[in-house]
């Protein structure tokens, strides 16, 4: 919204913004998209997950935070996280880490974490609407079971995870507004270049590190964009 205002659009007069979605699950998003297409909107903006591009640094940060880790479990959510899981596996392999996956399916967050606790697994929560909606429950349960965990979206560390790495959503949506501005002024979508997210951020939660009795390296701390104290 602020990006549109910066481009001199008056919200509610020059342009009407309609919001849909907000619930977990691919069916809900597909339904919202069909509804908006039926309303013949001028531009459709969707929040996609570009987390796969940050997997190399995420794997490196998890290894720096827990130097003894050799195996990592990635929490996946069906097709929405396939690319992320593959990219994480490739990035981790280059660091000597082995990655296995555990799909959330119909399981409740507490049951998932209890299963991982039985394995004493260090794990990564990949980015999907459902997994992000469960971030707080996953992170708090992991801390209660004394498991180190990371997220492929920024909010996970703020929710109590050890660390997270992902695109800066405010920056990404501000850039999306610039693209919307061009489309509304007559540009063809085919003529607009595809852009990477403008910025990825690394967030480290010191409170969680202390609770897990982990001493984080100066290199990791200096590379963090945000530190939760």
| Pairwise CA distance, residues 156 & 79, whole Å | 21
Q: What is the pLDDT of residue 92?
A: 93
**Least confidently predicted of 138-147, 148-157, 171-180:** 171-180
208 and 179 part of one domain: no
Q: What is the pLDDT of residue 95?
A: 92
42 and 118 part of one domain: no
Global pTM value: 0.78
Closest alpha carbon to 228 in 205, 202, 201, 211: 205
8 and 99 part of one domain: no
105 and 216 part of one domain: yes
104 and 123 part of one domain: yes
pLDDT at 159 over 80: yes
Tokens 């003529």 found at: 191
Q: Are strands 200-205 and 163-167 parallel, antiparallel or unpaired?
A: antiparallel
Residue pair 95/63 in contact by the 8 Å Cβ criterion? yes
Q: Give me Rg for the CA atoms of the chain.
A: 19
92 and 140 part of one domain: yes
Percent of the chain with pLDDT over 70: 93
Q: What is the pLDDT of residue 48?
A: 57
- CB count within 10 Å of CB 130 equals 16
pLDDT at 49 over 90: no
132 and 74 part of one domain: yes
Number of compact structural domains in the chain: 2
Q: What is the pLDDT of residue 24?
A: 53
- CB count within 10 Å of CB 157 equals 29
Residue-number span of the structural domain to which 124 is assigned = 51-166+200-228
- Mean pLDDT of the 136-144 span: 97
187 and 205 part of one domain: no
* Mean pLDDT score across all residues of the chain: 90
Q: Render pLDDT for 60-104 as a digit per residue (tens, 0 to 9).
A: 998 999 999 999 999 999 988 998 999 999 999 999 999 999 999
29 and 131 part of one domain: no
pLDDT at 28 over 90: no
pLDDT at 26 over 80: no
Q: Render pLDDT for 11-23 as a digit per residue (tens, 0 to 9).
A: 999 999 998 865 5
Tokens 């690319």 found at: 83
Question: Which CATH number characterizes residue 156's domain?
Answer: 3.40.50.2300
Q: What is the pLDDT of residue 168?
A: 82
18 and 97 part of one domain: no
Closest alpha carbon to 162 in 145, 180, 187, 177: 145
102 and 182 part of one domain: no
- Mean pLDDT of the 154-180 span: 91
Q: Render pLDDT for 194-228 as a digit per residue (tens, 0 to 9).
A: 887 778 899 999 999 999 999 999 999 999 999 99
91 and 7 part of one domain: no
- CB count within 10 Å of CB 190 equals 5
């Amino acid at each position: 919204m602020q990006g549109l205002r910066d481009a001199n659009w008056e919200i509610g007069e020059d342009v009407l913004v309609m919001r849909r979605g907000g619930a977990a699950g691919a069916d809900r998003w597909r339904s919202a998209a069909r509804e908006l297409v039926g309303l013949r909107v001028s531009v459709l903006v969707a929040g996609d997950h570009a987390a796969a591009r940050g997997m190399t640094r995420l794997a490196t940060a998890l290894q720096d935070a827990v130097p003894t880790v050799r195996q990592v479990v990635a929490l996946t959510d069906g097709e929405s996280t396939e690319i992320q899981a593959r990219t994480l596996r490739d990035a981790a392999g280059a660091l000597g880490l082995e990655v296995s996956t555990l799909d959330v399916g119909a399981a409740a967050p507490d049951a998932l974490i209890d299963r991982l606790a039985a394995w004493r697994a260090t794990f990564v929560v990949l980015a999907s609407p459902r997994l992000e909606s469960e971030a707080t429950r996953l992170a708090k349960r992991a801390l209660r079971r004394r498991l180190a965990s990371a997220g492929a979206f920024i909010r996970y560390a703020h929710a109590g995870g050890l660390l997270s790495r992902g695109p800066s959503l405010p920056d990404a949506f501000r850039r999306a507004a610039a693209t919307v501005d061009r489309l509304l002024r007559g540009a063809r979508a085919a003529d607009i270049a595809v852009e990477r997210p403008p910025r990825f951020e690394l967030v480290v939660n010191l409170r969680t590190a202390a609770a897990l009795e982990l001493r984080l390296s100066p290199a990791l701390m200096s590379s963090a964009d945000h530190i939760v104290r």
